[in-house]
């Protein structure tokens, strides 16, 4: 079917695998580990990459290909490779790009597991990492060394919802001939396209808003064709590939990403505004609140503010504990980007293993709460938080 796929929503819905002889409307699930060949010559030519086709699901699979094609269209990327989880995407991207003796400059506020890779595993491969504080981006250039390979950034950050200026980072990378690698998980491709601002590679944990219903894990890296080719070669050997079933779920979910994310953001904005006026809340961070320190940058590079709100309950650890113990409807969980609103305490969960000074630099205080705002009626979400704050 020929479709004029001009808009994000249309790309998300009309990017589809080829229809089979059954003329199905909804894409079938290709649960197969391997694919068959007509003869020895076809097999030889396919393995020699003279012929483009699926060989083995560790390399590619029709469901995975469809998911990758959709995310590439949404991000404006040339190519991509899909992974079993967001961390598989992060690790495989790093492992492909970096050699022993290389150096990375990263924002100090990154996801706890990513930080764990930098601190626990990079040193044993003689790879160094220098961190810049989110509020001191002017120090970035001073951290660059002759062996620096790329700048790594998350924006908005997990869990502090800080915002980094992608165009600014890209200018530094171009000046020093470095790659810019961005974890775009919190924004989703609907809200922000880092490639437009100069990123070379964009990583997603598809487990979050891409799935949107807390069902499956997945990850993806998209970007420049020649870099993805290297990531593909590494991954087809090492096997962190996305399963066809998860790819099918994720590709279906992307069809509704735009409408879901619009509503998540509307609810998050209302909740952030409520929290900002609450006497028991010390501070609130949400990219589209005027009080956010990087409000202008968020407005410049994001369509809406996202679904994550960070705030601090008055009364330190004890105030935080009382609040968590009195939540009735929202889920106490470490995931995010679900239809269900999730309340997390980063200091004791996702970032528990992060050193105190790094936690401080990332703005993670003992009383800090991260809320992944869901799709329940916003009045019910507010009511639940209101009654927990009243205790
Ligand atoms: C910003 C960010 N990047 C990467 C990941 C890792 O994704 P996954 O849990 O799918 O491995 C997460 C998970 O929370 C995340 O929040």
Reported as a single tens digit per residue, the pLDDT across 123-142 is: 999 999 999 999 899 999 99
321 — phi, psi (to 5°)? -65, -45
Q: Which of 109, 118, 158, 351 to mutate to test ligand 1, by most ligand atoms within 8 A of the CB atom?
A: 158
307 vs 363, residue with greater confidence: 307
Res 1: pLDDT: 45
Give the distance (Å) from ligand 1 centre to CA of residue 349. Answer: 14
Res 200: pLDDT: 98
CB atoms near residue 73 (< 10 Å)? 19
Is the pLDDT at 333 greater than 50? The verdict is yes
Atom of ligand 1 nearest to the CA of 88: 11
Is the pLDDT at 358 greater than 90? The verdict is no
**pLDDT tier at 4 (50, 70, 90 boundaries)?**
low
- What DSSP element (H or E) covers 27? none
247 is written with which tokens? 């790819």
C-beta of residue 141 within 8 angstroms of C-beta of residue 178: no
Query: Measuring from atom 6 of ligand 1, which residue has the nearest CA?
Result: 86
Give the distance (Å) from ligand 1 centre to CA of residue 225. Answer: 24
The Cα angle at residue 32 between residues 29 and 34, in degrees rounded to 5:
145
pLDDT digits (tens, 9 = 90+) for 188-214: 999 999 999 999 999 999 999 999 999
Res 365: pLDDT: 86
**pLDDT tier at 256 (50, 70, 90 boundaries)?**
very high
237 is written with which tokens? 């050997």
pLDDT digits (tens, 9 = 90+) for 139-185: 999 999 999 999 999 999 988 999 999 999 999 999 999 999 999 99
- What DSSP element (H or E) covers 102? none
% of the chain at pLDDT higher than 70:
99
Say if strands 201-205 and 368-372 run parallel, antiparallel, or are unpaired: unpaired
Is the sign of the CA dihedral 81, 74, 196, 298 positive or negative? negative
Whether the model clears a pTM of 0.85, i.e. scores above it, the answer is yes
Res 5: pLDDT: 61
């Amino acid at each position: 079917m020929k479709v004029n796929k001009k808009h994000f929503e249309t790309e998300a819905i009309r990017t589809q695998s080829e229809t089979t002889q059954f003329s199905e409307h909804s894409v079938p699930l290709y649960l197969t580990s391997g694919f068959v060949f007509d003869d020895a010559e076809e097999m030889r030519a396919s393995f020699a990459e003279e012929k483009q086709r699926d060989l083995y699901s560790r390399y590619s699979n029709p469901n995975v290909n469809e998911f990758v094609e959709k995310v590439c269209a949404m991000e404006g990327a040339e190519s991509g490779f899909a992974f079993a989880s967001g961390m598989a995407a992060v690790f495989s991207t790093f492992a492909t790009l970096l050699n022993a003796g290389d150096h990375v400059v990263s924002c100090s506020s990154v996801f706890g597991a990513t930080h764990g890779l930098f601190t626990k595993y990079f040193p044993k491969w003689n790879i160094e990492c220098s961190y810049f504080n989110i509020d001191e981006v002017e120090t970035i250039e001073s951290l660059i060394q002759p062996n620096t390979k790329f700048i790594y950034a998350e924006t908005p950050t997990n869990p502090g919802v800080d915002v980094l200026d992608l165009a600014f980072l890209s200018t530094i990378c171009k000046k020093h001939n470095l790659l810019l690698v961005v974890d775009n998980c919190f924004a989703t491709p609907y809200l922000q396209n880092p490639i437009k601002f100069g990123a070379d590679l964009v990583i997603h944990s598809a487990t979050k808003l891409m799935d949107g219903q807390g069902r499956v894990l997945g990850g993806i890296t998209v970007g420049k064709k020649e870099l993805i080719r290297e990531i593909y070669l590494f991954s087809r050997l090492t096997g962190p590939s996305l399963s066809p079933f998860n790819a099918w779920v994720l590709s279906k979910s992307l069809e509704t990403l735009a409408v879901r994310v619009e509503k998540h953001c509307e609810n998050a904005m209302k909740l952030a505004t409520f929290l900002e006026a609450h006497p028991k809340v010390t501070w609130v961070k949400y990219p589209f609140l005027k009080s956010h320190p990087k409000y202008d940058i968020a407005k410049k590079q994001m369509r809406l503010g996202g679904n994550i709100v960070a705030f601090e309950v008055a009364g330190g650890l004890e105030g935080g504990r009382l609040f968590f113990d009195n939540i009735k409807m929202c889920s106490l969980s470490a995931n995010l980007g679900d239809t269900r609103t999730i309340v997390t305490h980063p200091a004791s969960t996702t970032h528990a293993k992060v050193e105190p000074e790094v936690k401080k630099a990332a703005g993670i205080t003992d009383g800090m709460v991260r809320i992944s705002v869901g799709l329940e009626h916003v009045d019910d979400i507010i009511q639940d938080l209101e009654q927990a704050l009243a205790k």
